[in-house]
Amino acid sequence: MLEIEGLNQYYGGSHILRGICFAAPQGQVSTLLGRNGVGKSTLLKALMGLVPVRTGQIRWQGEDITHWPTHRRVRAGMGYVPQGRDIFARLTVEENLRMGLATLRGRAAQQIPEEIYAMFPVLREMRQRRGGDLSGGQQQQLAIGRALAARPKLLILDEPTEGIQPSIIKDIEAVIRQLAASGEMTILLVEQYYDFAASLAQNYAVMSRGELIRQGAGSEMRDDAVRNLLAI
């Protein structure tokens, strides 16, 4: 569904992404691992059209989207939960979720999908509370719910466990499993914490210094000593 070929990206004279080649198969959970500062978030921003690509190609459902603007990618079915969540602190939970409906049309743009509240019951309980008053874990659930409100075919999650208490990490893991079980949504999970990524991955890739240094099936992560790569 998502294919990246020979992707290079620069900040000024710094070569940040170096010849990235990667694919996220349809209906599967693909994980991208790496320590802080290796280029993971930059790659996701390039996928969403938030930073320009110098060379290379991004294909989405077989179509070249390398130079598409961000809003067109979202309308085509790409959902993005950025690192740090980026919820609207002064808007209520319900208003944040309605922001996710902005790309939809007709009746679908009027009503928050009930399944979001079923996945994250706390959002229903707090729907009139301002986003900035939620805990970090609740804000992460809200950010994921906002992305899901647009009914994406691809969900990109940038370090969803960062700064989150263990109980909510388990809730988020359960939601990802539920979404993946349907086989209808492709999930690209970016993480630096091995255990969380390994528990979900059907495919994996490891990034270091702007390059992908290892790729394989999720079931092979332990045999391929991926944990050791993240500790280097």
Give the whole-angstrom CA distance, residue 140 versus residue 101: 18
Please tell me the CATH code under which domain 2-231 is placed.
Answer: 3.40.50.300
Neighbours of 138 (CB within 10 A): 23
* pLDDT per residue as tens digits for the range 141-181: 999 999 999 999 999 999 999 989 999 999 999 999 999 99
Q: Which residues, in sequence order, are bridge partners of residue 17?
A: 9
pLDDT at residue 81 above 90? Answer: yes
Could you state, in order of their start, the residue ranges of all structural domains in the chain?
2-231
* 8 Å CB contact between 90 and 46: no
pLDDT at residue 70 above 80? Answer: yes
Q: Who wins on pLDDT, 86 or 57? A: 57
Output the pLDDT for position 222: 84
Output the pLDDT for position 184: 87
* 8 Å CB contact between 15 and 8: yes
Under the banding of pLDDT at 50, 70 and 90, the label for residue 84 is: confident
Residues in Cβ contact with 8 at an 8 Å cutoff, skipping those fewer than 6 apart = 15, 17, 18, 19, 20, 53, 54, 55, 56
* 8 Å CB contact between 142 and 149: no
Q: Who wins on pLDDT, 216 or 102? A: 216
pLDDT at residue 232 above 70? Answer: no
pLDDT at residue 108 above 80? Answer: no
Output the pLDDT for position 192: 84
**Chain mean pLDDT for the chain:** 93
